Amino acid sequence: MSSCINSKEAYEKSKLSGFVAEQTKDILAKNPPKVDLSPVEQKISAVDMRVNALDANNKKAQEVVSKLEDKLKTIENLEKESKSEFERSNTSVVFFNTGSAMLSAASMQELYRWKSGIDKAPTGYNYTVNINASADKSGPQYVNDRLRTRRAEAVKKFLVDALGVKATINLVTNQDAFSKTYLLDRRAIISVSVK
């Protein structure tokens, strides 16, 4: 006898119910009930058709979204390349005489050409102007430091006052001399950075 059955009477009832369950299974196996399931099967079929239609619509929508995402990536890449090209094509260099921060006529023409290029650009980018001024190694460091600052300020003043540049202008005056040719180091490089 099982430990969970506390009395002989309960044990007999459990045996009897097991017997009844087995008989019921046999009877149902020999004589299955006659139930008309066709309405339920029709509803299931209709639901399956709707689910299949929704799956097909979802697949089409996913294909459209995928194509749009590809086009958006292409546009983003073109925009990135366009910004890079705008930055590359709007860089200019002006040179200075030894110990001077005065813009020559040729330097002024170069800055005008640079500004015209930006004005003609077919883009409406928000950009910052960068002026990187340098000096050669011919003088003491403290003199060259002040000279670089004066050169950057001279270029900035011309861009703002004469050419009407309204963009933010960053001055970089910590560029040391690069080359052994002093003329090449007496310069200011004017460039743009798209924000």
pLDDT digits (tens, 9 = 90+) for 52-69: 989 999 999 999 999 999
| 169 close to 128: Cβ distance less than 8 angstroms | yes
Name the 3-class secondary structure at 130: strand
pLDDT digits (tens, 9 = 90+) for 125-139: 889 999 999 988 888
Rounded Cα distance, 125 and 168, in Å? 13
Query: Per the confidence metrics, is the pTM higher than 0.85?
Result: no
Q: Do strands 92-95 and 187-194 pair parallel, antiparallel, or not at all (unpaired)?
A: antiparallel
